[in-house]
Structure formats: C-alpha cells, structure tokens
Structure 1
C-alpha cells in the first residue's frame, strides 16, 4: 500500500508535539479525593487488578480535573508554554465517560458524578464555539480558545466528536428527574443540536477538520480514512438538524488510498488502513461509545478490524525486528504517546523502542488474555517504574532506560472506558441507545445488534 503523507498529521494532530517537564500545580475542587494506592499489591485477582487500575487512573480526571471548569487537563505537565490552564476537548469527552464508570463502580457517588458533569457542561455551554463546534484546546478558567497550532485557532470537529461521544453517553446515563440531571440533558441537547456538521463539508462530499474565524479554511485538511475519525462521520450523520449526506461518508472518509487494505501481516488479515494498522488509538478513540461487536458496513467488519489491528501490533512487538530490549509477549503496544525523543505516533512502521501502556490496556475488549498478560507485567514487574498516583505513566523504553513522568488525558481515558466496555459493555450500551446515533448509523447503512433494521437509504 502506498504511504500517504497525511498519516503523520492524522496521528499527531490530536496532541502537542513539544512539552516542558514542569509539573502542573493544581488544587482539586473536591473536598475529598480518591486516595492513591502507591504500593504494589501482590496476590490481586484479575478482577481486583482491573478495578484498581480503573480507580487509580480515574484520579487523573477527578482529583486533577481543572478546578474552575472540571474539564480534563491536556497533560499532567505543562503544555507548551501556555501554563496550567490548558484543557482538552476530546480528552474531556473521555473524562465524562470515565466519571460514569466511576459512579457505577462506586468510586464516587452518582450525585458527585452528576455535579461534576454539570460543571463541565455548564462551562462548555458558555465557552468558545464556532458553528457549534469546539476548538481543540480551551482555557479551563475563561473558556477562551487556546490555539493548537499557528492557524488552528477555531473549530476542530474531530475533537468535538470525541467530546460528544462522551456527552451523548452522559445524556443517556443521567436520566433522573431532578434539577442537576435535567440541566445536564437539556444543555447537552442544545449544544448537540447546534453543531453545523454539514457546514464543515464546504459543499463537497467530505468533511473538513478545521475552520477558524481568523484563518477560515486555511488548514485545508479533508478527513479521509482509515484512522481515528470514524466517530466524526457517525455523529455528523446522526445530527438531528445538520446531518451530512451518506455520500460524504462513502465518497469522503471511505475514498482514499489509505482506506482499504486486505493484506496479511503476521498471517493476520487487516481489512482497513495503513500497513500494519498504524498506531493502536485507531482501534480505541471511535469505539469508546461506538460498539464494534457485530458492527459492519459495506467496507468492513469493525470487530475484525480492531481485533486484527491489535493482534498485528502485538505480533510485531513479539517479532521485534529491531531487537529492542523489553519487547515480548508480555510487553507490547505501540500507539501515540510521549517518548524519550519528544512526542510520536508509535506504530510498527514508526517504532523507536517505546511501549505505551494505553495501547494494550485499551485493547482489553479485543484481546483480553493478551492484554491481561501485559497489565500484569506492567503492574507486578515494572510497577516500581510505571505505577503512579494517576495509574500508569504515559510510556517507557527499556532500550533507552527511559520512563515517562507524564500522563495524557487521551491516553488515560481509554484505559478506564475500554476496560469497562470489556467488563460490562457500559459505555457501548449507553452511546448506542441514543436514537439519533441509531438513525445516523442506519443512514450510512451500518448493521449491528444495537442498530434497528431499516431499508437501504442511500449508497
């Protein structure tokens, strides 16, 4: 398959490429946080270990959430030179889902979860938005846009879709008839209805990633697959007021030289995407709420896609063609994360000796036995170097004797949520229960156990 130069941009555009090592100073807005378990505990059952990892990782979103907005900070160390106020739109969507898990697992009460979610929703309701879409970064105190790059200072519909994957799940969860939960649902619905997805096509059959009031369409980045952006097209098709035509999905996202694959890697067939699958977050971000079990369209079976992508990633680490120290059946997982050389979208075709725990741990639904092997190795064998107050640190390299001190919202969130989807399917059930999402998937001719049958609408 011919390599596409958009690959690096697609993989890196969700995160900052440079950062300082200064720890963010913060004050929790909680009267009582969740006590971290810093000592490595022996003799834990598999279920106890999963619960511990979910609970401790949740602290990133709960105790480290921004004190004014409640939103998820981009990272645990200072983002660029913007100071301590940078909060992330997509990472907050993951955080909202993590809060639901915490309530169901009794790490916090439902009332605490609802109050924090209301704080986030109230903040977003007043924050900067552009044609209904949010920017990648906001100032967590003021709600004003913090530009992500030189001309990226406006709407980011991929980040917005990751946010609303979480917010729609929250709307389906907070169903009680009381002032707090009523307000959550009402404001989420208002913001959801306001996103002008079809406007972001520029009257073409493809969605464009960015728009800025200062720079217009200067970023000029059409969203083509296959990558982490499937959820963007699903939500764009699901909009009650501003839905895209199915042609935008089939002729836009699914029409590129990096979409179909079909080749075998380590004797495992990869239906879609880059050779060897690309970074593993492709199998996670869109599927925090979108249930891949039995999910199919004319292009692929998405359970097969995600499972095989994960198995190929693991098989590459076991093969370890570059002979890096530490890679093994118990130590695998290449995805975008911090590294010893900065920030990089790690994959089998971009391998610089860095293992990222979220890669294997967020793959629990697809490879439960293999992910449990990795989890036990990370915790019991490497825990003295990896385990921290917010769960596992972002990444490590035994080859370079480098162990990150940082945590990133969009790496921590999938660990909690995808482990929960493996254990109970909770977020999958909530998101897929949305009537708009069901209609949107129908309009794109998806099939699956959670999607009501309907006649073909448009090709």
Structure 2
C-alpha cells in the first residue's frame, strides 16, 4: 500500500508540474510581475507571429473570428510599426526572442521602410506589405502622414541607440535607422508657415489642410521636427503652431483633478492614447516647458479617465475600479474616440487604455489588468493578449485587434519595468538638442 501511495503521489506531482492551472501559471496566483510579463509577452506576439510576412511590419488589424471578415491582412500601418519596432527591442531584453532574431526582423522592417513609398521623407498611414506601395487611408489621404511617420521615427531612434555599439551587423542597422529618420523633411510640412501640417498628397497637394495644434497625441512630432539635424524647424513653429502663442493653456478640473492644457474637443481630457503615443520614447518624468508639466498633465488625464469610469454617470454595466479606460478603439458601431464626456462615453472599455497607463497609475492599471485576466479571460483574452475593446452593456466581445492599440501595451509595460525605451530615446543627442531648442526641462 505504501508503494502504491508513493507512486500515486509521484504521478500527482508530475501532473501538477505539467498542468499550468496548478502551478505559478495559474491566473489566480500570478504575482504582479508575473502578470505583467504574461501580458507583455502575449501582446508582443502581435508584432512577431502576427506581423505581415513580407515586410515584417505591423498589420493594421487582425480579426480572429469569422464574424468580422477581413480582406486587408497585408496592409501594414506605419505608426504601429514604429511601436512594434520598440516592442522588438523590449522583447530582446526580456529574452522573448534572441538578439539575433531581433536584428534579423528589424533589418527586414527597416529595409522595407527604406524602399517603401515616401513623400518628402514621410511615409503614408498605410502601406501594402507585399509591395511597399501606398494604400490610401481615405481619398485625399494618399501621401505623407507626418504624425504616423513621427511614431516610426520614435522607434528608429531607439534602434539607433540600442545597436550603435554592437556587432558590425548591428552597427549597420543602427546607421540605417539613423538615415531613415533623418530623411524626414519636417520643414516641407510647414508649408513655409510656423506650424506643422499632418498630410501632403502627390495628387491633392495640401487639400486636407490639417495644421496641427495642441494638445493631442502629436507632441513628439514637434520635438522631432525641432531635433532633426537635416530638416529641422525653428522654435517658432512649436510656439506659434503647436502652442498657438499660449492658447494651448486652459485650466480645467474634474473632481479636483486639474488639467493645464486645452485638450482638443473635450474638457475632461481626450482619449487616453494622448497620454501614450508621444510618450513611448519621450519620457514624461520631469518633462516641462513654458506651458505644462507633462507628467502632471498625463497622470491627471489618466486619473480623470479612471474617476469618470468609477463614477459612471451614464450607468453602464461593468464600469468600476477594476474595469476602466476610455480611448479610441473599436466600438459597438464601428470605431470611436471614447473619452470622459457624456457624448463621447459609449459604454466601451479598451484594455489598452488602462494597461498602457501603468506608468502613471500602477495600482489602478494593475487592478484592471488582474480583473480582466482572472475573471474575464474567456471573453477578453486571445492569441495576442487582450482584445481591442468590449462592452458589458451591449454584451459585445469582438475577437479583434488593432496594431495601434497593441503597441503601447508592450512599450509602456517595458517602460514601467525598466524605463528601457525612455532611456534609449532620451539619450539621443539630436532629441536632446530639439528639447533644448524648445525650452524643455527633462530627465536624460
């Protein structure tokens, strides 16, 4: 009997070791760091296994189920590709992939970008992955997109810094990244005025007529425009264009949480990606200029978003301290820029909003992440991490991903853990020159 008992016990031990639900992989028993690692690793897969195969770049979207047929699997999006480039660097550091695998993939992506359509140095919003040719985002948006291009440049500068002292192959990659970002003609996109324009088309010229004023997701574009050693702009472009000679300043508060800047179109802060996209490389800690403290602004934007969802003035199902986050994402009816305002809150939560805010609100972000992973995993979790968005009110749980929302999850989780991408971007001498030109205080 003793031998039988010992044998049975041994089998049980082996079974438990092999069964992820009975060891530290059990979602109910993950530490905070284990949970962060699981989410970061799984989300990174969007930019690795899920990448467009010819280019290695980030797909615009991936739909998992057949409910939402997809006919654009080879369309890549430039902004998310920039985020994915940064994600690959983080994956090398985390040993999700080897350094050699990372160099190989990054070389593939950068070679694709080198040969793809560009318009005065700027890439379009969308590219065909098989050919590198432009896929129009809309009829007149068929040329350069300076905002998406700046998100690419943010990633290129991190590549430049990460590999500059490496092997000969890595130094070659670093040089290519530097050449690509320095090829962006920011000056062209001023039209000779003291402001940057979002679009230019070879077929429609400046017809879209979109001068970029703050505050929104575009701060890094103005920093890079000032930083460019080849096609740089003067400080007046920033102060007169982005800041509109001080009109960017507009104090507002929600339940005692204060904002310093005019958030375009919403008093309580825009969609949460405004606190993410420019700050994947641009470190908000200690970042100040004549108009704002950007750490304070971003953190308070997130806190307002969180408190709005806790208060839940529209009484949507499922909102609360452990389920919050309004940003631009898929919505029950198409796509929407969800934000804390009565007309902009549609009952749709996007996991990227809370998770990518972890650098500002670690306790609140971890609470939401744990709730979704432990209690709603069957409806919210898939091959590439949390799905893009959901609504408990509408019982709406689409199995869909958007590249532009996946990227900040990977990068901001890494910045929370190690500040890796912040350190790389902020260590670049061109970036520092640009910040100095615009009068910023910052942490190197």
Q: TM-score, normalised by structure 2?
A: 0.91
Contact 1:291/1:432 (CA < 8 Å) preserved in 2?
Answer: yes
- For 1:17-416, list aligned pairs within 5 A: 41-77=27-63, 83-255=72-244, 259-272=248-261, 273=263, 274-349=266-341, 350-416=344-410
Q: Shift in Å at residue 56 of structure 1?
A: 0.4
CA contact (8 A) 1:135 1:156 kept: yes
Alpha-carbon distance between aligned partners in 2 of 1:267 and 1:192, rounded to the nearest angstrom: 41
Q: Distance in 1 between matches of 2:236 and 2:248?
A: 16
Q: Quick one: distance in 1 between partners of 2:364 and 2:166? A: 43
Distance 2:299 2:190 in 1: 31
Q: Per the alignment, in what secondary structure is the counterpart of residue 50 of structure 1?
A: helix
The alignment partner of 1:309 has SS state of helix
Q: 3-state SS of the aligned residue for 2:329?
A: strand
Q: Is the 8 A contact 1:393 1:405 kept in 2?
A: yes
Deviations 1:256-305 (A, max 9, x none): 89832211112100111231101000000000000000000000000000
Structure 2: segments with no counterpart, 5+ residues: 1-19
Between Structure 1 and Structure 2, whose CA radius of gyration is higher? 2
For the residue of structure 1 that corresponds to 2:336, the secondary structure is strand
In the TM superposition, residue 191 of structure 1 has moved relative to its aligned partner by 1.6
| Shift of residue 384, structure 1, vs aligned partner | 1.1
Offset at residue 155 of structure 1 (A) = 0.3
Residues 322 and 258 of structure 1: CA distance in aligned 2, closer, same or farther (over 3 Å):
farther
Larger mean CA deviation between 378-387 and 176-185 belongs to 176-185
Counterparts of 1:367 and 1:206 in 2: how far apart (Å)?
33
Are the counterparts in 1 of residues 62 and 73 from structure 2 also a CA contact under 8 Å?
A: no
- Three-state SS of the structure 1 residue aligned to 2:127 is strand
Q: Does the residue aligned with 1:269 lie in a helix, a strand or coil?
A: strand
- Over 3 Å counting, the alpha-carbon distance change for 1:80 and 1:195 in structure 2 is farther
Give the whole-Å Cα distance in 1 for the aligned partners of 2:375 and 2:426: 38
SS of aligned partner of 1:412 = helix
Q: When the two structures are aligned, how many residues end up with a matched partner?
A: 414
Is residue 225–residue 258 contact of structure 1 (8 Å, CA) maintained in 2?
A: no
Matched, 1:446 2:435: no
Name the Cα RMSD after superposition. Answer: 1.7
Aligned position for 1:13: none
Any conservation in 2 of the 1:40–1:379 contact (CA below 8 Å)?
no
Stretches of structure 1 that go unaligned for 5 or more consecutive residues are: 1-36, 451-459
Instruction: Work out the CA distance in 1 between the residues paired with 2:70 and 2:186.
Output: 32
- Secondary structure, counterpart of 1:411 in structure 2: helix
Mark the CA change 1:80 to 1:125 in structure 2 (over 3 Å): closer, same or farther: farther
Alpha carbons 1:201, 1:208 under 8 Å: kept: yes
Question: If each structure's helix is expressed as a fraction of its own residues, which one has the higher value?
Answer: 2
Question: In the aligned structure 1, how far is the partner of 2:123 from the partner of 2:359?
Answer: 30
> 426, 429, 438: which is aligned to 1:435?
429
Cα deviation digits, residues 305-335 of structure 1 (max 9, x gap): 0000000000000110000000011111000
Structure 1 SS opposite 2:251: coil
> Secondary structure of 1:262's match?
strand
What is the alpha-carbon distance in structure 1 between the residues aligned to residue 410 and residue 255 of structure 2?
29
| Alignment CA distance shift 1:82-1:251 (3 Å) | farther
User: Are the structure 2 counterparts of residues 379 and 76 from structure 1 closer, same or farther at C-alpha, using a change threshold of 3 Å?
Assistant: same
Counterpart Cα distance in 1 of 2:216 and 2:277: 10
1:152/1:219 contact within 8 Å kept: yes
TM superposition score normalised by structure 1 = 0.88
CA distance in 2, matches of 1:419, 1:307: 16
Q: Which whole-Å deviations, capped at 9, do the CAs of 1:380-419 have from their partners, x for residues lacking one?
A: 1111110111000000000000012111111111011101
